[in-house]
């Protein structure tokens, strides 16, 4: 199986906030999971650096445009690294190789007769880099940014999007899982069904962009330029190799609902026009809200993921965002919430279980984990875990899969309470039951570490280390009885040490 996963490429008009980190983290969890299962996996993220807004914001910052985009692209790259994303490449749309690919792509569509010249007159939100009709505005303002759009009138090149309605509807009807979740599929499909207008794919007044190859006085509309990254990157992401024949169209795009129309409607149409295959699948997630509002730089209500990572580390932040908000829905996030889950779930449920298990093996068995001799009284504790999680992650249910794993953590904790190893340790009659119980706990934790590794890539190896188990994260490990007999297990240091509560730290 081949899996090519993408995040949107983020605008460098601002610096990253936790909403950007969110999509990157979710995509990373899927990429790590697929690699674990031996699937050929490629994970792409990057930055969107053209558009009418960028020169303006650069000027406000008193910087040359190129210096400005370099600085902010570096901030996104840093965010990507700090959340511990395992991306295979980081694309920047100012990369000359991407720019050349954009020209080649639009030329194909032009040669196919799907682009024509006309006059554009209408409303444009420079923050969205999108055109709006009067009907789409809220109180005359952009529905996303709440700013009054600009009236634009210029000669543009237009793409015959309207001609793709039937083909798009057909695509949706043949692939009921083309867009997930289902309500987003319905949203995209009904948008297409309402009828599509041709779209402007060039700007006459903007120099900061990729020149239209047959009319170099104009630049390619930033959204067309940006979408093409998913295709262009494959040509040069790996030195000396063209991955396009290998990985296209095995692509799964992840994005939030703000950019559904561009990805679920315009992008497949552009691909069809260029004679290319449409993406395999798209997953549209919701918004992280802060104080019930969409977090965004322009609204000024953002959480900086790096500040949180400084305090809690990357794993707890990764864990929090996908656990707190059902992936696909909107949900509130807060700094107190991060702290609460850090203490209660990571510290108590998981961290203490590792501490207790290793401490009991050290104390009652002198650090020795015997081979599995006693079948657990409760049957196979781990039955179904691997299959359930794999199935949920295949349908992008990142939150559901994590809950399934947490159920396992809770049942291991329940096992300790039920079997009471400290009582079994009182005399020899309990020796076999104690061996069996300690084995089940260690083996269960080992399997949990493997299945959790995509979510907690730093913590998982530490769990295996504390149990002196091989650092093998392959999927086969998500099953019972794979813990190997070892010696020298010591009481583990806390995985999630105490952190000052945010109010105290502030």
**256 makes contact with ligand ME8 (CB under 6 A):** yes
**199 makes contact with ligand ME8 (CB under 6 A):** no
CA–CA gap between residue 476 and residue 438 (Å, rounded): 21
> Which parts of 289-328 interact with ligand ME8 (CB under 6 A)?
294-295
**399 makes contact with ligand ME8 (CB under 6 A):** no
Q: Give me Rg for the CA atoms of the chain.
A: 26
CB of 215 to ligand ME8, least distance (A): 23
Position of tokens 């997930």?
180
* From 77-85, 148-156, 225-233, 448-456, span contacting ligand ME8 (CB under 6 A): 225-233
* 279 touches 267 (CB < 8 A): yes
Torsion, Cα of 30, 317, 86, 270 (10° steps): 60
Q: What angle do CA 234, 391, 23 make, to 5 degrees?
A: 45
Nearer to ligand ME8, 178 or 230 (CB): 230
CB of 86 to ligand ME8, least distance (A): 18
- Residue partners of 292: CB distance under 8 A and separation at least 6: 332
Which one is catalytic: 128, 264, 285, 339?
A: 128
Tokens linked to 163: 């001609």
Residues in the chain: 506
Q: Which of 3, 4, 5, 8 binds ligand ME8 (CB under 6 A)?
A: 8
**168 makes contact with ligand ME8 (CB under 6 A):** no
CB of 337 to ligand ME8, least distance (A): 15
Q: Does 264 qualify as catalytic in the annotation?
A: no
Helix or strand run (H / E) with residue 159: strand 150-159
Judged by CB under 6 A, the number of residues near ligand ME8 is 20
CB of 280 to ligand ME8, least distance (A): 16
Nearer to ligand ME8, 167 or 261 (CB): 261
Give one word for 454, left, alpha or beta, with left for phi > 0 and alpha for psi -120 to 50: alpha
Tokens linked to 7: 């995040």
Q: Which of 4, 5, 20, 80 binds ligand ME8 (CB under 6 A)?
A: 20
* 431 touches 323 (CB < 8 A): no
* 44 touches 19 (CB < 8 A): no
Nearer to ligand ME8, 265 or 361 (CB): 265
**β-pairing verdict for 179-180 and 115-125:** unpaired
Q: Which of 5, 179, 201, 259 binds ligand ME8 (CB under 6 A)?
A: 259
Tokens linked to 290: 């802060």
CB of 109 to ligand ME8, least distance (A): 17
CB of 241 to ligand ME8, least distance (A): 23
Q: Which of 185, 287, 396, 455 binds ligand ME8 (CB under 6 A)?
A: 287
Helix or strand run (H / E) with residue 9: strand 2-11
Name the residues that contact ligand ME8, by CB under 6 A.
Answer: 8-11, 19-20, 22-23, 48, 226-227, 229, 255-256, 258-259, 287-288, 294-295
Residues annotated as part of the active site? 17, 20, 125, 128, 142, 145, 294, 297
């Amino acid at each position: 199986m081949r899996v090519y996963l993408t995040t949107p490429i983020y605008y460098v008009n601002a610096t990253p906030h936790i909403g950007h980190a969110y999509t990157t983290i979710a995509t990373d969890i899927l990429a790590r999971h697929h690699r674990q299962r031996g699937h050929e996996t490629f994970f792409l993220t990057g930055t969107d650096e053209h558009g009418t807004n960028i020169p303006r914001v650069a000027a406000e910052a008193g910087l040359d445009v190129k210096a400005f985009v370099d600085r902010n692209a570096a901030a996104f790259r840093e965010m990507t690294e700090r959340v511990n994303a395992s991306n295979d490449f980081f694309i920047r749309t100012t990369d000359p190789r991407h720019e050349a690919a954009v020209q080649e792509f639009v030329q194909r569509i032009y040669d196919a007769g799907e682009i024509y010249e006309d006059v554009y007159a209408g409303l444009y939100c420079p923050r969205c880099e999108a055109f709006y009709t009067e009907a789409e505005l809220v109180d005359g303002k952009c529905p996303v940014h709440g700013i009054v759009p600009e009236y634009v009138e210029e000669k543009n090149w237009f793409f015959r999007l309207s001609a793709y309605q039937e083909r798009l509807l057909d695509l949706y009807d043949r692939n009921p899982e083309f867009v997930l979740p289902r309500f987003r599929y319905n949203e995209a499909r009904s948008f297409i069904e309402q009828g599509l207008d041709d779209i402007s794919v060039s700007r006459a007044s903007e120099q900061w962009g990729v020149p239209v190859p047959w009319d170099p006085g104009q630049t390619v509309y930033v959204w067309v330029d940006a979408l093409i990254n998913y295709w262009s990157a494959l040509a040069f992401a790996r030195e000396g190799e063209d991955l396009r024949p290998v990985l296209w169209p095995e692509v799964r795009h992840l994005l939030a609902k703000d950019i559904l129309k561009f990805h679920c409607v315009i992008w497949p149409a552009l691909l069809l026009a260029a004679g290319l295959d449409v993406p395999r699948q798209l997953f549209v997630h919701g918004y992280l809200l802060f104080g019930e509002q969409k977090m965004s730089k322009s609204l000024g209500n953002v959480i900086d993921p790096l500040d949180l990572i400084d305090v809690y580390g990357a794993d707890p932040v990764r864990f929090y965002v996908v656990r707190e908000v059902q992936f696909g829905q909107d949900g509130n996030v807060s700094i107190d919430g991060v702290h609460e889950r850090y203490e209660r779930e990571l510290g108590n449920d998981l961290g203490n279980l590792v501490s207790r298990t290793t401490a009991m093996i050290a104390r009652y068995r002198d650090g020795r984990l015997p081979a599995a001799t006693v079948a657990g009284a409760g049957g196979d504790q781990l039955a179904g875990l691997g299959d359930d999680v794999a199935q949920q992650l295949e349908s992008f249910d990142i939150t559901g899969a994590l809950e399934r794993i947490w159920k396992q953590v809770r049942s291991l904790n329940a096992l300790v309470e039920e079997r009471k190893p400290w009582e079994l340790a009182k005399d020899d009659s309990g020796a076999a039951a104690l061996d069996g119980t300690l084995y089940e706990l260690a083996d269960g934790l080992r399997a949990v570490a493997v299945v959790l590794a995509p979510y907690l890539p730093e913590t998982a190896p530490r769990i295996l280390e504390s149990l002196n188990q091989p650092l093998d994260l392959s999927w086969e490990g998500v099953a019972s009885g794979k813990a190997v007999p070892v010696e020298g297990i010591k009481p583990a240091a806390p995985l999630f040490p105490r952190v000052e509560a945010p109010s105290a730290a502030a």
